[in-house]
Amino acid sequence: MRICCIGGGPAGLYFALLMKKQNPAHEVVVLERNRAGDTFGWGVVFSDQTLAALRAADPQSAAEILDAFNHWDDIAVHIGGETVVSGGHGFCGIGRKQLLSILQRRCMELGVELRYEQDVQDDAGIEADLIIAADGLNSRLRQKYAATYQPDIDLRNCRFVWLGTKKLFDAFTFDFQQTEWGWFQAHAYKFDGETSTFIVETPEAVWQAAGLEQMSKEEGIAFCEKLFAKVLDGHALMSNAAHLRGSAQWIRFPRVVCKTWVHYREPLGLRSAESVPQGERGGSGRPSASANGVAPVVLMGDAAHTAHFSIGSGTKLALEDAIDLARDIAAHEGDLKAALDAYQATRSIEVLRIQNAARNSTEWFENVDRHARLDPQQFAYSLLTRSQRISHENLRLRDARYVGDFERWLARRSGLDATVPPMFTPFKLRELTLKNRVVVSPMAQYSCVDGLPADYHLVHLGARALGGAGLVFAEMTCTSPDARITPGCPGLWNDEQMQGWQRIVENVHQHSSAKIAMQLGHAGPKGSTRVPWHGGEDLPLESGNWPLLAASAQQYLSGISQTAKPMDRADMDRVRDDFVAATQRAAAAGFDWMELHCAHGYLLSSFISPLTNQRQDDYGGSLENRLRYPLEVFRAMRAVWPAERPMSVRISAHDWVPGGTTPEDSVEISAAFKAAGADLIDVSSGQVSKAQKPVYGRMFQTPFSENIRNRVGIATIAVGAISEADHVNSIIASGRADLCAVARPHLANPAWTLTEAARIGYTGPAGLEWPQQYLSGKQQMEREGERQRGAGLAAAEQANKALGV
């Protein structure tokens, strides 16, 4: 096979040596535009876990790379005059130039042809069976075949400059400096015996305000030296980007995602099937893809994808691309197309996983001003867990002392003198104290007749109250018959319903230490639909429909749903008064907490979202106007709800539709409700439009909660794909929310909180109360949790031995 790698970075060099090692008969050439010794980076970082793949793929180069590594375990975070250190992270640093030299030597040993100062503008003159486009971030081949690759390039908000220093850092060091213009941060680590990488980063607006855009290269470096003088201990900063002038050394990171990684082009010379060597044919004896008249151009490394430097995975991904493609080519016995299909299928999934983590990390560093409002201890924890790849228990495995100290610090803030997992610390709002931070989400059950909660809800909510959660929400309860989503929805528009709820509340209070919350809402344009198991969700009733209301005329399901009537002032007065009456009944029933539902496209949400509010009066147009009626309802409810009891609002922080509500809008929405007397924002998203395109993932809505909590200064509930104690502990500990609402896991297991406590080895007593009738089950569950943790630790130790850690 004739292989041409365009680009002599880690991806191109490593793939070249692997293919030549795999079959010495392969003709492999690497075309690199720079000279052999040129490189414009400083050090690169690997985690310990990356090393096993290098050892397996090519032990010779892996041994040399390992010998050149500088290893460290600690991360040090400097902010506000304090330093927080956490250990056990297992990083390795190596100079980029040294890494390339090792790979270049290994290529030459194996017979790979390296050609330098070959600035390939186009692949038109290259005849090969396989072309690897490893030509970097600004790939010309990716641009040429953009119609095939369909790249999505997102230019991020921060400016950064890649520098070096002779100051040797003992830990991976983050240093944060506040200036009159805003926050700057440095990422620093040692990569050889005499040099460290030193990256300086700041948001674009701060960079411009500081005047760096007008500074020369030398002036910009001097600015950074002065700003970070303390952590540099008087050492200078250095640049090796001699080709850049002025402020061009400051760049914005482009996140690159490609839909497709392989383009098939017509080769210069078509060979007949008979002329193709046997080694290039598939298992059936047929020629490879290129021999059949197509020559694949395959993206690799930064040409295919980028991951922000703050998670140190760019070089890791490039080398793993090379390893996987070489393996797939060997596994498919010369059937090149099948190999390339396998390569794209496996690598695109792994890259997406890393890029999701990198996105979280990138956004964290873009919003340091938000996180800097936390205490230094919590700020550092937030930084360590920013990507959501490192969780609370993962941190404990790395550095149990650090986590234990942090848990004690966090518990003291809640009035406890003990080491307690964050999810089991108490939370006080107004005069109400919750025993822990776990909330059973309001989950529609559609199991009432004429809005009356009866035995089903007594058992359903009672079981979850016994299950250990601090707060149990009733499902969205409707304020009038025409406010229901379905005929099976509960109500609170008459005294009989109030008495049904009172029976449930008294049961919760008598048999558990949980608190119980009422959530009031009005379905608006999403009402008068079937119970989901009676023909499908959101579909209108087959008969007996009631008229619908909304901010503006709309159909939730276009061409299917009823058209809701735009509310006039009389409608608004009636609905407001219905909410007030229901609030009074909830107070009389003894509920501990009240929540107003202003999310998910229901009536009040239809006023807030610009997708559904097209009014031309005082209740439409600007966000201030769109909030006017929901705030009117909220204020009227707050006026009759007991002053000592908390009141929250559920909002959709993101409509996930262009032109809809954005996370930035959600800050203004939350601030308005706070000013009206809200104690907490329950932060959800979506369900306003069927055109939504959410970006799902574990804890995917948590960043919206953090944005509101730390910018508005109001307590929040995080919701969405929170399914483990580890998730809850990480969210609470990092200051991303004050409470975590867990939905579907509570449907599968009413005792989810008790089960998770046993699984992580927490036996109480703080924040955890087992019903005395269930204590024998507690002991058995705790033994099972201990057994599972032991098995997990044994597996982790085995993996570490395999990695040589």
By annotation, the residues acting in catalysis are 602
Q: Distance between CA 589 and CA 502 in Å, rounded?
A: 4
Report pLDDT for 741. 98
Q: Distance between CA 493 and CA 578 in Å, rounded?
A: 7
Report pLDDT for 281. 34
- Does the pLDDT of residue 355 top 80, yes or no? yes
Dihedral of CA 259/261/264/265: which sign? Answer: positive
User: What percentage of the chain carries pLDDT values higher than 90?
Assistant: 81
Q: Look up residue 356 and give its amino acid.
A: N
Q: Tally Cβ neighbours within 10 Å of residue 428.
A: 11
| Per-residue pLDDT tens digits for 114-138 | 999 999 988 988 989 999 999 999 9
| pLDDT, the chain, mean | 92
Report pLDDT for 135. 95
Side-chain-side CA neighbours of 494 within 13 Å: the count stands at 8
- Does the pLDDT of residue 273 top 70, yes or no? no
Q: Distance between CA 598 and CA 595 in Å, rounded?
A: 9
Report pLDDT for 469. 98
Instruction: State the first-to-last Cα distance of the chain, in angstroms, to the nearest integer.
Output: 38
Mean pLDDT along residues 519-538: 93
**In 3D, which of 481, 543, 467, 553 has the Cα closest to residue 512?**
467
Respond yes or no on whether the N-terminal peptide bond of residue 610 is cis (omega within 30° of 0). Answer: no
- Does the pLDDT of residue 110 top 70, yes or no? yes
Report pLDDT for 243. 79
Where do we find the tokens 């610009």?
610
Q: Tally Cβ neighbours within 10 Å of residue 420.
A: 23
**In 3D, which of 342, 350, 283 has the Cα closest to residue 313?**
350
Mean pLDDT along residues 508-520: 98
Report pLDDT for 793. 63
Q: Report the Cα 587 to chain-centroid distance in Å.
A: 38
Of 62-71, 322-331, 359-368, 496-505, the one with minimum mean pLDDT is 62-71
**In 3D, which of 120, 63, 73, 123 has the Cα closest to residue 93?**
73
- Does the pLDDT of residue 758 top 90, yes or no? yes
- Does the pLDDT of residue 274 top 80, yes or no? no
**Residue 48: band (very low, low, confident or very high) from pLDDT cuts 50, 70, 90:** low
Report pLDDT for 727. 96
**In 3D, which of 606, 580, 585, 457 has the Cα closest to residue 527?**
606
- Does the pLDDT of residue 292 top 80, yes or no? no
Mean pLDDT along residues 656-665: 97
| Per-residue pLDDT tens digits for 146-202 | 999 999 999 999 999 999 999 999 999 999 999 999 999 999 999 988 999 999 999
Question: Phi, psi (5° rounding) for residue 435?
Answer: -70, -25
Q: For 177-232, give the DSSP string.
A: EE-SS-EEEEEEEE-SSS-EEEEEEEEHHHHHHTTGGGS-HHHHHHHHHHHTHHHH
- Does the pLDDT of residue 102 top 90, yes or no? yes
| Per-residue pLDDT tens digits for 706-718 | 999 999 999 999 9
User: What percentage of the chain carries pLDDT values higher than 70?
Assistant: 94
- Does the pLDDT of residue 270 top 50, yes or no? no
- Does the pLDDT of residue 804 top 70, yes or no? no
Of 164-173, 187-196, 210-219, 267-276, the one with minimum mean pLDDT is 267-276
Contacts of 76 (CB under 8 A, 6+ apart): 83, 84, 85, 169, 170, 171, 172, 173, 174
